[in-house]
Structure 1
């Protein structure tokens, strides 16, 4: 470790989805900023990997998120142009559930409060349009034509790349050992160097447990497994003729994406807790209990599919008590900003989260709701 101290206006701890977008935003605004990532860029140890993530404005979680989503959509389109690579695919989303299910009640409220394009379909209408789906007769189906998916690793790579092109410094495969805050600066010690920064932004995902506990927030880390499947019927589940989906059933809530490459159809389960105590203790190998519920879903909703698993990956949700995000100035240190607890639905917001965290670091407040 060098004896000299490297100095920055702002240091970003954790350069995954939120951290990379924040690093890019700060660099674009002309700040002397560094990012510190304990793994590599677009790694597979946290929450921002697995090829694709859903993006949608019709937000059944709560309609109050929609102003942020409007800004996120604008920023994704703007960033995609600057990146020079396809990152956002707008191919639509099927959302289905019983009339009294949480997802349908949430969408009913969302569409009541916000004028967003959508179609409400009966099961027969949905079957004619999307014959791949076999849904219960009492289900309500919404089709969201402006939803789509984001290429997650490509997006993180481009945020990091363009951040560096705008002057950011990025340290990868480097662990932060300690940080200390005083009124004038933040002292950071990694396993390779010492850094002094005017402000610290913490976007370290599940590794932000120390900071979350210091705020009195008891959060859970959920281990979630994503699967990919090939099939003799895979031609009917490709991007040109098959939408993204989210289906709430009695035994779980399942989401998925069309086949965009040889790995095939991607499916995950969203609501069933897979609780782990610490991020470094999350099991990365496939466990006997991981796949049966996914196969049960496929048998019920895609009975002709005949799945052949091609791949899986393990990711983490950092779950707050109310499933909402934590974006705030540390209560003890006004030069420390925390972005954490994205509860399994955060990645689509990454560029607007980057703006909010940059605002909090630079101005101490933000105009975003």
Structure 2
């Protein structure tokens, strides 16, 4: 039986990027995905994800997103495909709110270019926005839009072109240590590998039951709207991405006009499901009214617009909403990846780079301690 240097389970954003980076470094690698390429049942599909540099969640993410920027451009160069469009971004909310204070903190700590806009300046620059006088916006000139379907396909294309093997529609039913390596069993085959990367997102619990990771799967509904008035008001290149703190600690976000319309959604306001298979996939009136209520104070025209299309995806959340990038506490040949809590896609290029470093060099150029499994406390381990 052929032995691989590494097997990657799960070929969403993080898995496909890791497979690509390992293949580029000459490793014999296999990627396994339970669904067909481009499926819409996980967290990595669709036409758009935000990338932003002045990261309001925490300054620790800024160096990561800066490296991600460079790697997305490098991937564009390798494939000749457009993957990232810079639009600039607005982080909007009350001056003492989570979004504005967090954005300013990251910008100041990392000396990032940014601009503070009061309500009047924001209305002049982008007339579609109608903020109240007590609102501020922080302008992020390096924010923009990633095309997730194209990004994932590009990582897979480069991986395969440099020797990686890929199995689509092949479900992993388990893995176990085999000497210093790992045996991975699927519904149709068995594989041996020196190292294993589990990038299974919401299915991580199925493959890591011994760790009892405190993960939750959250439904996320997204909408494409068709506002009245001049289409140029929301056009790509003339309208930015944005995040708006519509009530303390709660955020809605959106994009310029894309092929299906002007996309918008409410962050972390969905139902918690016990498993990805239990995520409700239909979208109803209560979902759209939740979005309209969040948008009305800042984008009133958009809030009342006709819905052109809807979709659902899912977030796999940790309690602190930080990532997991760490070796299994009991098996150092197994790297646990993902659980990105709804804000991970933009980092996929750099996470793939980091995980290849970990598997090959045993270390990474970034401090990964915030992403440790051990931060959750003691977990069960197999003997």
Q: TM-score range by the shorter chain?
A: over 0.9
**Aligned-partner Cα distance in 2 for 1:254–1:226:** 11
C-alpha distance in 1 between matches for 2:188 and 2:69: 38
Tell me what 1:366 maps to.
Answer: 364
Note the 1:76-87 alignment, pairs <5 A.
76-87=72-83
Establish whether residue 242 from structure 1 lines up as the match of residue 239 from structure 2: yes
- Counterpart of 1:38 (choices 31, 34, 40) is 34
User: Structure 1 residue aligned with 2:301, among 285, 301, 304?
Assistant: 304
Q: Residue 50 of structure 1: CA displacement?
A: 2.2
Aligned to 2:341: 343
Q: 1:330, CA displacement in angstroms? A: 0.5
Q: What is the Cα deviation at residue 178 of structure 1?
A: 1.4
Q: Which of 95, 98, 118 is the matching residue for 2:94?
A: 98
Partner SS state of residue 21, structure 1: helix
- For the 8 Å contact 1:198–1:335, the answer to whether it is kept is yes
Distance 1:56 1:199, change over 3 A: same
Structure 1 CA distance for aligned equivalents of residues 212 and 300 of structure 2: 46
Cα offset for 1:260?
Answer: 2.2
CA distance in 2, matches of 1:90, 1:235: 17
How many residue pairs get aligned? The number is 364
The 3-state SS of whatever aligns with 2:315 is strand
Q: CA deviation at 1:245?
A: 0.8
1:135 and 1:273 map into 2 onto residues whose CA distance is 26
SS in 2 for 1:333: coil
Distance 2:35 2:186 in 1: 13
Secondary structure in 2 matching 1:256:
strand
Aligned residue in 1 for 2:153 = 157
Aligned twin of 2:226:
230
1:139 pairs with 2:135: yes
CA–CA distance in 1 between the matches of 2:204 and 2:154? 24
Deviations 1:202-260 (A, max 9, x none): 00111102456533431111111111011332332111311111101128411111112
Match of 1:320 in 2: 318
Distance 2:210 2:340 in 1: 18
Corresponding residue SS for 2:31:
strand
Residues 1-369 of structure 1: pairs in structure 2 closer than 5 A: 5-210=1-206, 214-233=210-229, 234-250=231-247, 252-261=250-259, 263-305=260-302, 306-369=304-367
Deviates more, 1:139-148 or 1:248-257: 248-257
Go from structure 1 to structure 2 and tell me whether the alpha carbon gap of 1:138 and 1:41 turns closer, same or farther (over 3 Å shift): same
Native 8 Å contact 1:185 1:199 kept in 2: yes
Aligned to 2:373: none
SS across alignment from 2:232? helix
Contact 1:50 1:226 in 2 (8 A): no
**Aligned partners of 1:183 and 1:335 also within 8 Å:** no
Which sections of structure 1, spanning at least 5 residues, go unmatched?
none
Distance 2:199 2:207 in 1: 10
Uncovered stretches (5+) of structure 2, i.e. residues with no partner: 368-383
Pairwise CA distance, 1:72: 1.0
After superposition, give the CA deviation of every residue in 1:87-138 in whole Å (9 maximum; x if it has no partner): 0101100110011211111112112211111110110001000000011210
Q: Distance in 2 between matches of 1:58 and 1:244?
A: 13
Contact 1:329 1:360 in 2 (8 A): no
